[in-house]
């Protein structure tokens, strides 16, 4: 008999299950609004033109080989990544209060941060990390896998398909002092609902007063609004306010490097006499954790992102590519909204254009989602989240008409 007879069957990952069902569907007009990956107007994956160039440069560089990276990853990437998220002239960087590790994309960055906090963040036994309700589903698994209990704070108000401001601020006020709060820097997944800058300021005020510890997850910088600084505003504001914090940064969406698994984890120490020393010691422990988990991170996607981030001309082209992606998505939001209004579809749909980034939380119910799949071959997650990138000029009318039919 196996030693593992008692292992229970785990459910398959809902998102990857949805992708498989879509793939198996033979209907000509099927639509994939599930996966959070950018698609062009032909519903095809898009290799960013600047990434093609960086790829050429790297493949033709005779000085490059396939040796291991250092434990902390490609230094030219991690330093440029810190500047990207914190701002080039960030005092945190010049004061040597930042330590950065290249990770297995954003997921690996969240994991390395979770592991670090579980081991070194001083907290009462069983103190929870607070995540938004809802949040990226993987947050639950990543934090519980390292033994951090999870508590949810209210975030989404379904009656307005917007931010539950009272719920959010009350939960922060009530959180145990010292608690870690996971925040989405921009383009909140799955809701597409972000606090305004004034709301971020108020959140920072509460968190400072209650001594709460921010852990920012940034998976959509530049992809959300097309403006890199705007999408990093909340993080930079918190750093300016003197917070000590962690950042998990993904280059999957903004470079279209999904499968290359390029990302970074940053720890920023609060300013003070010992800041540089604390940062060094934290870095030394991160190196042990990283070594035991992955030894060292993968090289190729890191090289591509580094080439772009460190070359002013390529960086400029990248900003154009970010505008292409974010612009197309914003256009599709408008197109879907306009069509629903034109059809007189019951309900209000303004949230489709006010929400930001890859996703829209439509407010469609689970039975409506099922009907869209069964009758119209339109695939989305059960919670009514649609990936805006799955819409294009050819299918947006079909999708709007189908939504109109299922909500009536």
Sign of CA dihedral 156, 157, 162, 168: negative
Q: Does residue 88 sit in helix, strand or coil?
A: coil
Cβ atoms 239, 246 nearer than 8 A: no
CA distance 325 to 220: 11
Active site annotation includes 164: no
The 3-class secondary structure across 158-210, one letter per residue, is CCCCEECHHHHHHHHHHCCCCCEEEEECCCCCCCCCCCCHHHHHHHHHHHHHC
Contact residue for ligand PMP among 32, 164, 194, 217 (CB under 6 A): 217
CA distance 55 to 338: 39
Complex with ligand PMP: residue 216 or 349, whichever CB lies closer: 216
CB of 194 to ligand PMP, least distance (A): 12
Q: Which stretch binds ligand PMP (CB under 6 A): 106-114, 152-160, 234-242, 280-288?
A: 106-114
CB of 389 to ligand PMP, least distance (A): 12
Total site size for ligand PMP, rule CB under 6 A: 14
Which is the catalytic residue, given 217, 231, 321, 349?
Answer: 217
Q: Does 321 bind ligand PMP (CB under 6 A)?
A: no
Complex with ligand PMP: residue 87 or 108, whichever CB lies closer: 108
User: Judging by beta carbons within 10 Å of its beta carbon (0-12, 13-18, 19+), is residue 268 exposed, middle or buried?
Assistant: buried
Which residues within the stretch 263-282 sit at the binding site for ligand PMP (CB under 6 A)? 263
Q: Does 250 bind ligand PMP (CB under 6 A)?
A: yes
Which tokens is 320 given?
A: 């154009």
Which is the catalytic residue, given 32, 46, 136, 321?
Answer: 136
> Helices 312-343 and 396-407 meet at what angle, rounded to 10?
40
Q: Which stretch binds ligand PMP (CB under 6 A): 54-62, 100-108, 167-175, 389-397?
A: 100-108
Q: Does 224 bind ligand PMP (CB under 6 A)?
A: no
Which is the catalytic residue, given 30, 53, 253, 339?
Answer: 253
CB of 63 to ligand PMP, least distance (A): 28
Complex with ligand PMP: residue 194 or 368, whichever CB lies closer: 194
Q: Which residue is nearest to ligand PMP (CB)?
A: 106
Q: Which stretch binds ligand PMP (CB under 6 A): 104-112, 265-273, 343-351, 382-390?
A: 104-112
**20 vs 94, 105, 138, CA distance in Å?**
48, 23, 19
Q: Does 231 bind ligand PMP (CB under 6 A)?
A: no
CB neighbour list of residue 241: distance below 8 Å, 6 or more residues apart: 204, 208
Cβ atoms 305, 257 nearer than 8 A: yes
CA distance 317 to 50: 6
Active site annotation includes 30: no
CB neighbour list of residue 330: distance below 8 Å, 6 or more residues apart: none
Active site annotation includes 136: yes
Contact residue for ligand PMP among 36, 87, 195, 226 (CB under 6 A): 36
Q: Does 360 bind ligand PMP (CB under 6 A)?
A: no
Q: Does 189 bind ligand PMP (CB under 6 A)?
A: yes
Which residues participate in catalysis according to the annotation?
Answer: 136, 217, 253
Site of interaction with ligand PMP (CB under 6 A)? 36, 105-107, 110, 136, 184, 189, 217, 219, 250, 252, 258, 263
């Amino acid at each position: 008999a196996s030693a593992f007879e008692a292992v229970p069957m785990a459910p398959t990952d809902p998102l990857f299950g949805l992708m498989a069902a879509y793939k198996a569907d033979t209907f000509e007009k099927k639509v994939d609004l599930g996966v959070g990956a950018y698609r062009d107007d032909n519903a095809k994956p898009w290799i960013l033109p600047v990434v093609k160039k960086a790829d050429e440069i790297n493949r033709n560089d005779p000085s490059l080989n396939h040796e291991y990276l250092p434990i902390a990853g490609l230094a030219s990437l991690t330093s440029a990544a810190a500047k990207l998220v914190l701002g080039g002239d960030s005092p945190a960087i010049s004061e040597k209060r930042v330590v950065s590790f290249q990770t297995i994309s954003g997921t690996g960055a969240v994991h390395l941060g979770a592991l670090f906090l579980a081991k070194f963040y001083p907290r009462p036994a069983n103190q929870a990390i607070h995540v938004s309700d809802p949040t990226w589903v993987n947050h639950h698994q990543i934090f519980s896998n390292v033994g951090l209990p999870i508590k949810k704070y209210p975030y989404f108000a379904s009656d307005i398909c917007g931010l539950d401001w009272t719920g959010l601020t009350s939960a922060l006020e009530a959180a145990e002092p010292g608690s870690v709060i996971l925040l989405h820097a921009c383009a909140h997944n799955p809701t597409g609902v972000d606090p305004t800058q004034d709301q971020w300021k108020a959140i920072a005020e509460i968190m400072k007063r209650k001594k709460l510890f921010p852990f920012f997850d940034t998976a959509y910088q530049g992809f959300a609004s097309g403006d890199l600084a705007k999408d990093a505003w909340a993080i930079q504001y918190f750093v300016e306010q003197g917070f000590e914090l962690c950042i998990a940064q993904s280059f999957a969406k903004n470079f279209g490097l999904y499968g290359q698994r390029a990302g970074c984890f940053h720890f920023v120490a609060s300013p003070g006499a010992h800041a540089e020393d604390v940062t060094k010691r934290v870095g030394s422990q991160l190196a042990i954790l990283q070594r035991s988990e992955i030894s060292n991170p993968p090289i190729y996607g890191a090289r591509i992102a580094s080439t772009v981030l460190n070359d002013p001309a390529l960086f400029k082209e990248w900003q154009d590519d970010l505008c292409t992606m974010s612009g197309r998505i914003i256009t599709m939001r408008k197109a879907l909204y306009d069509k629903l209004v034109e059809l007189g579809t019951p309900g209000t749909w303004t949230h489709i254009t006010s929400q930001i980034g890859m996703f829209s939380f439509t407010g469609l119910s689970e039975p409506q989602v099922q009907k869209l799949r069964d009758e119209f071959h339109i695939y989305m997650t059960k919670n009514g989240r649609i990936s805006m990138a799955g819409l294009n000029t050819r299918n947006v009318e079909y999708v709007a008409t189908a939504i109109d039919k299922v909500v009536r």
